[in-house]
Amino acid sequence: MEVLYGLHPVEEAIRAGGRQLDHVSVARERRDERLERLIELCRTAGVRVSLESRDQLTRLARTDAHQGVLAVVRERKFLGIEDLLAPKAEGQHRFFLALDGVEDPHNLGALLRTADGAGVDGVILPERRSAPVTATVAKTSAGASEHVRIARVTNLVRALEQMKQKHVWVLGLDERGTPDYTDYDFKGDCVLVLGREGAGLHDLVKKTCDHLLRIPMAGQVSSLNVSVAGAIVMYEAMRQRRQPAAPPARKPVKERKGLGS
């Protein structure tokens, strides 16, 4: 069993219905409209609610940032890469996010929140050299981690090669890459790969990418925080993919000449 804490993560875990909740504990000391709505949501979903002291919730959550709400849930089951690659409806292209060694749980939570907001079809995380999807990640993502489809893979390079075999373009983000991210056409099937905090993509992952994109920088620093950089590119991809397809060009009509002309 795992622990989730905070109003948004607990509420979204109930709404998502992806994993079973054993019970939800709320602080006796807290009584307000938001908490009452959460308790009513628990009753509707058939989730048991118990009252605990705020100190007891702090001991269970191992932090005082629980907002007076804590849920005990079953361990999350991750998807496989094959699950993410299931075909979509005809004419709909897929957009994925892969993380190469993002170890800060706050960065991971922020990226999962953006991935949910930008309509990403799935996130690929390596089993090693990656932050686990913990309660801290759920709290930072404001509960979005409960909605995003996440695949855990033992070897990221092998997973990216599998995606290439399914005609998914692999796009790494690198400060020395080319072209600029705004010059790339995201309207096909593709996966955006983001590297480690500070160090960027591993060499083998970089070599696996079909293209390396860059975010132009006008200041003195050479790169952005990984969660900020990821958000910029994900929303550019969403912007492009929302644009309606251009109508086919009409052939010019030849002028018809009448008799005697």
Q: What is the CATH number of the domain that holds 52?
A: 3.30.1330.30
Question: Residue 231: helix, strand or coil by DSSP?
Answer: helix
Q: Are residues 217 and 132 in the same domain?
A: yes
pLDDT band at 229 (very low <50, low <70, confident <90, very high): very high
Q: What is the pLDDT of residue 258?
A: 53
Q: Compare 212 and 222 and report the one with higher pLDDT.
A: 212
Q: Are residues 219 and 111 in the same domain?
A: yes
* Cα-only R_g, the chain: 23
By percentage, how much of the chain surpasses pLDDT 70?
A: 92
52-61, 82-91, 145-154: segment of lowest average pLDDT? 82-91
Residue 180 has pLDDT above 90, yes or no: yes
Residue 173 sits in the same domain as residue 198:
yes
138 and 57 share one domain: no
On whether residue 136 sits in a domain, the answer given is yes
Are 62 and 43 found together in one domain?
yes
Calculate ∠ Cα 203-207-232, nearest 5°.
Answer: 85
Count the domains in the chain: 2
pLDDT band of residue 87 (cuts 50, 70, 90) is confident
Q: What's the pLDDT score for residue 117?
A: 96
pLDDT band at 246 (very low <50, low <70, confident <90, very high): low
Range of the domain at 56: 2-73
Q: What is the 3-state secondary structure (H, E, C) of 29-68?
A: CCCCHHHHHHHHHHHHHCCCEEEECHHHHHHHHCCCCCCC
- Higher per-residue pLDDT: 31 or 83: 83
Query: How much is the pLDDT for 256?
Result: 56
* Domain-located, residue 175: yes
State pLDDT tens for residues 92-103: 889 999 999 999
* Residue that wins the pLDDT comparison between 180 and 31: 180
pLDDT of amino acid 201: 95
Average pLDDT of the residues of the chain: 90
Residue 251 has pLDDT above 70, yes or no: no
Same-domain check for residues 33 and 146? no
Tell me, yes or no, whether 14 and 129 share the same domain.
Answer: no
Instruction: Name the residue with higher pLDDT: 153 or 218.
Output: 153
Query: Do 86 and 188 belong to one domain?
Result: yes
247 belongs to a structural domain: no
Same domain, 20 and 110: no
Q: What is the pLDDT of residue 185?
A: 95
Q: What is the CATH number of the domain that holds 163?
A: 3.40.1280.10
In the predicted structure, residue 261 carries a pLDDT above the cut 70: no
One domain for residues 122 and 228 = yes
Domain match, 50 and 85 both:
no
Q: What is the pLDDT of residue 247?
A: 58
Domain boundary among 31, 54, 73: 73
Q: Choose the final residue of a domain: 46, 73, 100.
A: 73
pLDDT tens per residue, range 121-153: 999 999 988 999 999 999 999 999 999 999 999
Strands of the chain, DSSP E: 2-5, 21-27, 49-52, 69-73, 95-99, 122-126, 150-153, 169-173, 190-194, 211-213
- Estimate the share of the chain in helix, then strand, then coil, as percent rounded to the nearest 5: 35, 20, 45
β-pair type (122-126, 150-153): parallel
DSSP 157: H
What confidence category does residue 250 fall into, taking pLDDT thresholds of 50, 70 and 90? low
Q: Do 46 and 120 lie in a common domain?
A: no
